[in-house]
Structure 1
Amino acid sequence: MSSFVKLKKENLPEIAGIKTSIRNHQICSSGSDSFDFVIGGGIELNSIIMIGEDKFGRYSDVITKLYLGDGFHHKHQIYFASLDEDPMKIMKDIPMPHENQRQAQAETSSNDLRIAFRYQDCPQIDSVQRGHQIGVTYDLNKKYPKEIIESYENIKFFTFKDLQQQYPRSAFECVIEDLDKIVKENSNNLLRICINSVGSPLWYSDDFSTQLLKFLAHLKSITRYNNVVCYMTMPLHLINQIDETLIYRIRRLIDCNINLESFNNIEKQTNAVFKQYHGLLHIKKLQTIAALQSHKPEAFDLAFKLKSHRFVIEKLHLPPELQENESNEISMSCSSSSGNKSLDF
């Protein structure tokens, strides 16, 4: 008898916002088409994805809001744990879907690169990382009304006030207890877990490293056997201060790790190479739950920028090095130092 078993459609839960992928079985969107494309089409169900925060957490917060916004739009069950900021305050800033989805996708597909006249005959390189839309395009400039957010019932928060009420228990123990209760009641919907800034001072304890690893192991067992996807952010610059080897043990317990590096130093802000970007995106680990091999991105040299209404990830291309003299004439930097503009090869 053949060992091949046909996957019946009725065995797959019909949940809004979930798509079937050839490589990754079932996936949901992160809320950003560029980010979905980089990690292999979307976030795999039953997976844990970790974002290494940029130093001030500005851009990681944008991805968090897009992730929450996609769950809110599809009416998923949301569990949001945040000790540093008020989770309700973050929820009030989640973006709304773009009014015209076709127009939004067309804008995303347009090439924003301005090419000099001497390069117009050369083939253009499309830098924007994007694939087929599996979800909805969101507009970062448009927020949901306060009344709609407050009336949403499929959400549970865990805040610093909740932690104080359960003292001396740790935040890790409280979160796991909440999740164990929620997954037993949530069977016909997708549970989106969002844990913000794990490893910040408010999460810290004397045996922080041991508690964190135990927490991730327990969290992994919860996500594997339920309709759950887990997203967390972590300030790696603080984690490295505790233990430089801790991050390598953390990566063994999660499924995907993407780190953000914002250009907050003068050297990179004034560098012409990075002038059009807001930071670099580093791929450390990609999800391989339902595949023998992880997704291979088109490029690993990636940069991101925050536009007026969307978050975009692009390939990092080095521009031609041009120099502008006093007479505003542009000359190639490879010209001879003697002033002769002819090139000798």
Structure 2
Amino acid sequence: MNRFDYVRPSTVAEAVQALGSDPAARFIAGGTNLIDLMKYDVERPGKLIDITRLPLDKIEEREGGLRIGALVTNATLAYDARIRERYPLLADAILAGASAQLRNAASTGGNLLQRTRCYYFYDTATPCNKREPGSGCSAIGGVDRIHAILGTSDKCIATHPSDMCVALAALEAVVQVSGPQGDRSIPFAEFHRLPGDEPSKDTNLAPGEIVLAIDLPAKGFGGTHHTYLKLRDRLSYAFALVSVAAALELDGQTIRTARLALGGVAHKPWRNTDAEALLQGKPATRETFKAAADLILREAKPQATNGFKIELARRAIVRGLEQAAAGTPQSQSDKRIQ
């Protein structure tokens, strides 16, 4: 691990100033991702800016929804009574996402900023366009079993690792940030990026910006017609091969409103509003759900060994929508698929 300076600002303005004064600086809160990257020599910050004393650790009512401070821990968020009652999809996604130890340390803002999941990104002995733009993508033509099937480019096929973010995409959250140019709001769908020609950029944060909070809208799909279904190589702590965040509003057996987002399949949480529109007004049947899955996956592009993800995702979408329609959300304590 390289040498670095350490500062602990007491205000957001001081944190933004500290970041702007050193392009090699990085914010640190829980450190559950950054410290690993530093140990692997993927990240070499010249300065760590400890933001744990900033006043960003509250969950507050706002315009019928909730504002979640960037320093709220994943554990606090998952077990908050308001989240459990009004946004159960989010609570379930967090509980699916990591070990209890990690949830106790990881921050909400840090979860948004997790770096990509890719063997080669973590291996500095191999070329990686995310680490060194223009060096190449070792995953293409390499070991690609865990990699993306949607939204890829010829520069990168990595996947986004977060479970929490999949639920936030389905819920249409909004990210509040601050930077040298002031405060601004970023709709969640616009926060993360697809790799395109610049896979080194994971988000649309401007230089010097810090995440302050996440706003959840009043519409949270409380009740039972939701599920977070996560398929992985083992039932214990593991990243998703495919995950599905599904939430429905039903009028009898007719779908009034649908939200659907996938994890483990793309460089960002994957939400398809066309598939949601297809579901609206249709009967909550397996045939309807299959049609939505086919629409989502029609442009899926497999690599050499991850083609199984397409059928896995198709079945997961159907199963997730069936769970949501039946009001039987996937248990996050007994992770065996229902």
With the shorter chain as reference, the TM-score category is under 0.3
Task: Please report the TM-score for the alignment, with normalisation by the length of structure 2.
Answer: 0.22
Greater relative contact order (Cα < 8 A, sep 6+): 1
Task: Please report the TM-score for the alignment, with normalisation by the length of structure 1.
Answer: 0.22
Structure having the higher Rg: 1
